[in-house]
Structure 1
Amino acid sequence: MNERWSLDSLYKGYDDPAYEQDFQKLDQCTDKINAFPDWKNENDKHATLTNIIEVLEEMVTLSSKLGSFISLSQSTNTQDSETTAQMNRFQHKLSESSKAIAMINRFIANIDDLEAMIAQDEALQPYQYMLIQTKADAKYLLSDEVEEVITKMDLSGGTAWGDMQSYLTSIVTAEYEGKEVTLSEIRNMAYSEDKDTRKKAYEAELKAYEKIDDAISFSLNEIKSQVNTISSLRGYDSPLDMTLHQSRMQRQTLDAMFAAMDEYMPVFHAYLKRKGELLGYKNGLPWFELFAPLGSSHQSFTIEDAKAYLIDHFKGFAPDLADMIETAFDEDWIDFFPRKGKVGGAFCSNLPYLKASRVLTNFDGAIGDVVTLAHELGHAYHGKQIEDHLPLNWDYSMPVAETASTFNENIIMNAAIDAAEGEEKIALIENQLQDLTQIMCDIYSRYLFETAVFEASKDRFLFAKDLKELMLECQRKAYGDGLDQEYLHPYMWVCKSHYYGSDLSFYNFPYAFGGLFARGLIVKYQQEGESFVPKYRALLHATTVSSVEDVAKMADIDVTDKAFWVSALKTAEARIQEFLELTK
């Protein structure tokens, strides 16, 4: 078992002959796509559609493999100049076909008898959802020339601004007790058992952001301004409207979820206040104590410990999940530890063409890091359920993207809590409540913040001081009297990469959706037992070819109804009441 992942199953390096051969194949594929006006046949739309799917499948497979290798390489070494050059080469290659792709989408949208054509051809039927959605999306398409310009200009616009945020946060250092440490290392100190360490780390973290806040404020402003412009040009009511459409999710679903969350916010504030009292505070919990451990648990995990712990807790739910986790550890899917130049946080990248995934984390040995591994390996399990789809059906939307990951969190934490007693039980419950509070209060603050930034950036530039105050205002609203108002986090907009995607806005509410949807699924599992597991796998499999609402219906859930979200939040309320009782 290695501490770093291996990318050799993709390519052994940029000098690997297979890498250059695939790039040449991508060139040829791009040329064929760009020649679409020459080979399309308006008199035989069925034959043309078949050819379109064939060439798009090849392009998706090649670009996914090349793009994954480059982006994964960059995530562990943002300062590598060769990777930066290859990323630029790759992005420019993809941008060359943007005009032709727009023409192809318009061609599909103009097939009057598309549904009948699909019904008569078994080869097209797996792509029914994708093709019908392409037809529905056509009303948001701009001219072929404008689509091409948008894609190419984004390389030096939104994408470049996002790259700058990633680069600066990966290399910035914090001063801690006379030593320079990475941002990931200083943020991990928030989990320390020592109060003085937690506070000093918080102060050092905020100080570190002062080195880069002005530069990153430009990144955020320019990305949100660009998205505002493009969403308006396409005819969406707002960037949120565009995001929901891209997510295949109804506004009614989002509104129902937030209505339930608003109703239950005081329950989470009560938990935060109690934690503050237990740590000796009278005015709510200071930000730097959010992840302070409680109880007598002093568990520290090696990566071998984490492997055994995860396998043991998942094998009772689904043996194939436990087997996949063992494979992930044994076959070097995971890059574990923080280091300079490596991005912070954690993520999972599914590689369906290899029937594998790669997981990045910044492991420090705490129980929270084991939960993070469970979360990311949930994404990998989701990837296993969709890997037998055809290439154009590999992508699932943002809200359902967090389903398997947060389901995993609940499985492992509930099992551990049920087996614990006394102070150990308090420690584990509190750890679970930390995560629940993140998807409730913190995600809500991020949603409020991004909404406000989109609105404000329509007519003014938000300097770092403006963004800091706006962040604090949103945190006050989301956390209420649960936090000490003197100790909030004005720089959460700097360190969270989710704000910096020019093609992906509002990557915040999907965490709340995933967290609460998963809790609802857990209730179903508790009610139905083993018979639920095949249904769960089928649900995950359907996420790439169904709307959010239709996926939920597979588990007999109506996500447009506030009552469902309330039922999920009642389980969270029960856990908080248990914590309050245990800590009287």
Structure 2
Amino acid sequence: MKPEWSLDALYKGYQDEAFIKDLKKSDVQIALIKEYIKTLDTVEPAEALPALIGYIEEYSVLINKLSAYVFLRKSTDTTNSETVAIMGKLQDKTSQLSKEFAIFKKYIAKLDNLDEIIAGTPNLENYRFFLNHQKENAKYTLNDEVEEVIAKMNLSGASAWSTMQQYLTSTLEVDYNGEKTTLSDIRNLAYNSDAKIRKEAYEAEIASYEKIKDPVAFSLNHLKFQANTLSALRGHDSALAMNLKRAMMTQETLDAMFTAIREYLPKFRAYLKRKGELLGHKNGLPWYDLFAPLGSTQRTFSVEEAKEYLVKHFRSFSDDLADMIETAFDEEWIDFYPHAGKVGGAFCYNLPYIKQSRILTNFDGSLSDVVTLAHELGHAYHGLNIQEHLPLNTDYSMPVAETASTFNETVIMNAAIAEAQGEEKLTLIESQLQDVTQIIIDIYSRFLFESAVFERRKEAFLFSSDLEQLMLDCQKEAYGDGLDAEVRHPFMWVCKGHYYRDSLDFYNFPYAFGGLFARGLYAKYQEEGEAFLPKYRTLLNATTVNTVEDVAKMAEIDLTKPDFWRQSLSMVAESIDLFLDITKN
């Protein structure tokens, strides 16, 4: 079992004849689309629409395959100049069709009989949701030439600022105990069982940001300024409204979720304060102990042991999921260990056109790392359940993107807790609370922070000192007295890549959504047993061709009312009460 992923299923290198051939082929496909777009007004829609869809499908599969390969290469080596150059070429290629795609959307918008055309053209029926979604979004599309200019300018705008943040954080050298280490390595020490190491690692991490905080602040400012500008130009009320539209989710659903979360903040703070007391702190939990393991038996895992653990626990849930996990480990889908030049955190990249996924982690052997693997393998399982869709039906929106991943986390942690005894059970319960606190409380603080940055960026530039104070204020509002007011984390805006995804702002609330939605689904699984699994697979399959609210209705869930969210949060509250009861003495 190799510790690095293999990308050979895509291409064997930049000199691979297949890669070179596909690069050239993409130019041909771009030219074909440009030429066909010019003929739309001379061809009957019932003929023109399926023909154009066919061209776009072929282009989409090819450009996504090329882009995935280059992105994945860049994720493990941000310093590779050849990769950066080729990525720039690909971004230029995709920008060349911005004008044509704007024309396509407006063409669809003008078709008053779109549903009739779809009904009368069998190969369009599977694209009914996609086409109607395009028609709805046409109202936010600018004129063709402006769309083309925006796409090209983005290469030296938001996309470039995003790349700079990735480069700076992935190459940052952290001074620790007289040696140099990476940011990913130093952040992994937050899970160490030694209190002295955790505190020293936190202090080293905080100090290291002084080297890059100013350029990263410029990145954040310009990314959010561009998003503000585009949302206004396109006619959205705000950047949040623009991203909710992209997420196929309503403001009503978001408000209902955060209403319930705010009601349960005191319960999470009680957990944090108790953990702080157990670790010898009197004024809440200091940041460096947020991920401190509790209990004397701290199991660590090799990659092989992690595989065995995950397969064992998911086998009792679903054979197809367990089989996919074995495949992911055996066929080199996963890049495990941190190193200089590799991006931090973890992600899963679905590759439906080859019926696989790729997973990046910064594995250090802790239980938390195994849970992270379970989370990312949940994304891969989601990919498994949508890979039979047509090429333009394989993108699911941000909120539902975190559903299968968090469902996986819940399955693995509940299974581990159920088989544990004594102090180990306490350790696992606390570990689960630790994770859910991140996706509820920390995500809430990040949502507050990004909302404030967007609002303040309309009027002023935010220097690093402004962003640091704003982050501390938002942490105070979310964590309250559960967090030691003197030991928070003013630089969370530097290290979290979610803030820097161009064209994907507010990549925070989907984690809270996924965490609570998944727990609601898991409760149904507990009620229905194996009978729930076909429904679950159907629901995952439907996420690419339905709104968030319509997906939930398949499980008889109304997301627009706080009640569902309260029900999911009450499950977490029960775990907190159990933790408080076990540790009261």
- Counterpart amino acid of 1:274? R
Note closer, same or farther for the CA distance 1:540–1:263 as it changes in structure 2 (3 Å cut). Answer: same
Contact 2:185–2:338 (CA under 8 A) maintained in structure 1: yes
Instruction: Tell me, yes or no, if structure 1 residue 234 matches structure 2 residue 244.
Output: no
- CA distance in 2: counterparts of 1:70 and 1:412, whole angstroms: 32
Map Cα deviations across residues 230-263 of structure 1 (whole Å, 9 max, x no partner). 0000000000000101100011100000000000
Give the ranges of 4+ consecutive aligned residues of structure 1 lying more than 3 Å apart after TM superposition.
Answer: none
Instruction: Give the 3-state SS of the residue equivalent to 1:156 in structure 2.
Output: coil
Partner residue, 1:182: 182
Shift of residue 502, structure 1, vs aligned partner = 2.3
- Counterpart amino acid of 2:262? D
Contact 2:102–2:141 (CA under 8 A) maintained in structure 1: yes
Partner residue, 2:26: 26
Contact 2:209–2:491 (CA under 8 A) maintained in structure 1: yes
Pairing 1:20-59 to 2, within 5 Å after superposition = 20-59=20-59
- Counterpart amino acid of 1:530? E
Partner residue, 2:439: 439
Pairing 1:189-208 to 2, within 5 Å after superposition = 189-208=189-208
- CA distance in 1: counterparts of 2:452 and 2:125, whole angstroms: 42
Aligned residues: 584
Partner residue, 2:562: 562
Partner residue, 1:93: 93
Partner residue, 1:346: 346
Instruction: Tell me, yes or no, if structure 1 residue 13 matches structure 2 residue 9.
Output: no
- CA distance in 1: counterparts of 2:309 and 2:505, whole angstroms: 35
- Counterpart amino acid of 2:114? L
- CA distance in 1: counterparts of 2:392 and 2:440, whole angstroms: 33
- Counterpart amino acid of 2:351? L
Map Cα deviations across residues 118-159 of structure 1 (whole Å, 9 max, x no partner). 112221010000001111111101000010011110000000
- CA distance in 2: counterparts of 1:393 and 1:139, whole angstroms: 21
Instruction: Give the 3-state SS of the residue equivalent to 2:211 in structure 1.
Output: coil
Map Cα deviations across residues 454-487 of structure 1 (whole Å, 9 max, x no partner). 0000010000000000000000000000000000
Contact 2:297–2:424 (CA under 8 A) maintained in structure 1: yes
- CA distance in 2: counterparts of 1:479 and 1:127, whole angstroms: 44
Partner residue, 2:493: 493
Instruction: Tell me, yes or no, if structure 1 residue 153 matches structure 2 residue 144.
Output: no
Instruction: Give the 3-state SS of the residue equivalent to 2:18 in structure 1.
Output: helix
Pairing 1:476-515 to 2, within 5 Å after superposition = 476-515=476-515
- CA distance in 1: counterparts of 2:34 and 2:296, whole angstroms: 63
Partner residue, 1:78: 78
Partner residue, 2:144: 144
Partner residue, 1:269: 269
Contact 2:386–2:540 (CA under 8 A) maintained in structure 1: yes
- CA distance in 2: counterparts of 1:10 and 1:69, whole angstroms: 6
Partner residue, 1:357: 357
- Counterpart amino acid of 2:508? N
Contact 2:284–2:482 (CA under 8 A) maintained in structure 1: yes
- CA distance in 1: counterparts of 2:43 and 2:57, whole angstroms: 23
Unaligned 5+ runs, structure 2: none
Shift of residue 43, structure 1, vs aligned partner = 4.6
- CA distance in 2: counterparts of 1:121 and 1:317, whole angstroms: 41
Contact 1:36–1:100 (CA under 8 A) maintained in structure 2: no
Partner residue, 1:302: 302
- Counterpart amino acid of 2:124? L
Shift of residue 24, structure 1, vs aligned partner = 1.0
Instruction: Tell me, yes or no, if structure 1 residue 430 matches structure 2 residue 430.
Output: yes
Instruction: Give the 3-state SS of the residue equivalent to 1:175 in structure 2.
Output: strand
Partner residue, 2:2: 2
Query: Which shows bigger deviation, 460-469 or 294-303?
Result: 294-303
Partner residue, 1:254: 254
Contact 2:361–2:373 (CA under 8 A) maintained in structure 1: yes
Contact 1:224–1:502 (CA under 8 A) maintained in structure 2: no
Map Cα deviations across residues 253-307 of structure 1 (whole Å, 9 max, x no partner). 0000000000001000000000000000000000000000001232010000000
Instruction: Tell me, yes or no, if structure 1 residue 416 matches structure 2 residue 447.
Output: no
Instruction: Tell me, yes or no, if structure 1 residue 324 matches structure 2 residue 324.
Output: yes
Partner residue, 1:210: 210
Partner residue, 1:548: 548
Shift of residue 42, structure 1, vs aligned partner = 4.2
- Counterpart amino acid of 1:579? F
Shift of residue 403, structure 1, vs aligned partner = 0.2
Map Cα deviations across residues 422-451 of structure 1 (whole Å, 9 max, x no partner). 110010001000111001110000000000
- CA distance in 1: counterparts of 2:501 and 2:150, whole angstroms: 15
Unaligned 5+ runs, structure 1: none
- CA distance in 2: counterparts of 1:187 and 1:286, whole angstroms: 15
- CA distance in 2: counterparts of 1:35 and 1:196, whole angstroms: 65
Shift of residue 37, structure 1, vs aligned partner = 4.0
Instruction: Give the 3-state SS of the residue equivalent to 1:180 in structure 2.
Output: strand
Contact 2:45–2:117 (CA under 8 A) maintained in structure 1: no
Instruction: Give the 3-state SS of the residue equivalent to 2:181 in structure 1.
Output: strand
- CA distance in 2: counterparts of 1:197 and 1:404, whole angstroms: 34
Shift of residue 105, structure 1, vs aligned partner = 1.2
Contact 1:253–1:561 (CA under 8 A) maintained in structure 2: yes
Instruction: Tell me, yes or no, if structure 1 residue 533 matches structure 2 residue 530.
Output: no
Partner residue, 2:315: 315
Using the aligned pairs only, state the percent identity.
59
Partner residue, 2:474: 474
- CA distance in 1: counterparts of 2:480 and 2:391, whole angstroms: 46
Partner residue, 1:398: 398
- CA distance in 1: counterparts of 2:210 and 2:54, whole angstroms: 50
Contact 1:273–1:481 (CA under 8 A) maintained in structure 2: yes
TM-score normalised by length of structure 2: 0.99
- Counterpart amino acid of 2:256? A
CA RMSD of aligned residues (A): 0.7
Shift of residue 44, structure 1, vs aligned partner = 0.4
TM-score normalised by length of structure 1: 0.99
